[in-house]
Amino acid sequence: MKRKDDHIKFALRYKSDYNSFDDVQLEHSSLPKYNLDEIDLSTNFAGHNFKFPFFINAMTGGSEAGKNINEKLAKIANECEILLVTGSYSAALKNKDDDSFKIVRKNNENLLLATNIGVDKNFTSGQKAIKDLNPIFLQIHINLMQELIMPEGSRNFNEWENNLRDFVKNIKVPLVLKEVGFGMDRKTIEKAIELGIKTVDISGRGGTNFAYIENMRRKNHFKYLNDWGKTTVQALLDAKKFDGKVEIVASGGVRNPLDVIKCLVLGASGVGISGTILKFLSEYSTDEIIEILNSWKHECKMIMCALNAKNLNELKNVKYYLYGKTLDYYKNL
């Protein structure tokens, strides 16, 4: 599908000139309490225990290029023992011959797998995705600005809330409500909690930019909307209001292990990575990426050791300082 291939092409082309993680500084400790091998990276969200707090977030599918990417991602995730969330399963629902998603199960029987579907679909589509892929949870994405800019995007949105309500009532696996890089706002998180959603991925601005991607696919660009939404750090700061009421997953512009740790300090229980992984795929072999991500595990432990945090619960007590645009935003909260 050309649209899916365009998404990959323009996602690789986009380069953000600002990342909100650079506005966050963590307070380290010069005198450590723990040995490096005492540091515990394990976490829990969406009804599952994970050995490591970062995972490969929803990316692509529905085309031959997407199939090749998913095959590599499955091997990487399986070898690294991290979660893989597939891209939107909508393409496979439209085309019964599409195996760009099912390929992830080939030779990867122990793979930790979740899948993604749009909130514009009804719950029966979600049930079909679950039957086909047997995921540990279903990620439901909300992508309003992308749909509005997308030339062939939806213009009807009044069923989204009803669809989400039906997902909660009828889907048996855990659900994660996910933004797509525009940063989930507080009212949406409140509505998600009201409807019974237990986990949200705030997915802020700073990484894959679907406003830019869809603008590149248009003849008449709405370029002034390319910076629409909240940054990942802004969305995480907003979500602190809901501590204890909903699990927070963070994604959007995560570039390295330090960004992962900053997300966890700011309250996330898990950290999704997509754009950085996609760029890795364009620069390195599959085996090299496995080596990089295995190193990330060690590097996360190093940073936690330097912060005197033995586990993710202790990370949430680490002091942080805000600068620049993020500080200006925080003052107005």
Give the model's pLDDT for residue 62: 58
Residue 148's pLDDT band (cuts 50, 70, 90): very high
The pLDDT tens digits of the residues spanning 218-258 come to 887 899 999 999 999 999 999 999 999 999 999 999 999 99
Give 7-56 pLDDT, tens digit per residue: 677 777 777 889 999 999 999 999 999 999 999 999 999 999 999 999 99
pLDDT digits over 270-280, tens only?
A: 999 999 999 99
| CB 141, CB 117: distance < 8 Å | yes
pLDDT at 4 over 70: no
261-269: average pLDDT = 98
Report the range of poorest mean pLDDT among 55-69, 230-244, 251-265, 319-333. Answer: 55-69
CA dist 40 and 84 (Å) reads: 21
Specify the higher pLDDT residue, 10 or 193: 193
Task: State the average pLDDT over residues 135-159.
Answer: 91
CB 67 within 8 A of CB 100: yes
Q: Per-residue pLDDT for 316 more than 80?
A: yes
Mean pLDDT of the chain, nearest integer: 92
Tell me what percent of the residues of the chain surpass a pLDDT of 90. 75
Q: Which of 33, 48, 23, 45 is nearest to 317 (CA)?
A: 33
How far is it, in rounded angstroms, from Cα 202 to Cα 254?
13
Say if residue 3's pLDDT is above 70.
Answer: no
Model confidence band, residue 298 (pLDDT cutoffs 50, 70, 90): very high
Mean pLDDT of 140-150: 93
* Amino acid 113: pLDDT: 95
- Residue 55: which of 42, 66, 67 has the closest Cα? 42
pLDDT at 103: 83
Does the pTM of the predicted model rise above 0.75?
yes
Per-residue pLDDT for 61 more than 80? no
pLDDT at 82 over 80: yes
pLDDT of residue 94: 79
pLDDT over 70 at 63, yes or no: no
The confidence score (pLDDT) of residue 1 equals: 54
- Among residues 266, 306, 318, 242, the alpha carbon closest in space to that of 29 is found at 306
**For the chain, how many residues are written?**
333
Of 76 and 99, more confident: 76
Reported in sequence order, the residue ranges of 174-330 that DSSP labels E, i.e. its strands, are: 175-178, 199-201, 247-251, 270-273, 320-322
Share of the chain above pLDDT 70, in %: 96
Alpha carbon distances (Å) from 159 to 164, 181, 201: 9, 22, 21
pLDDT tens sequence across 125-141: 999 999 999 999 999 99
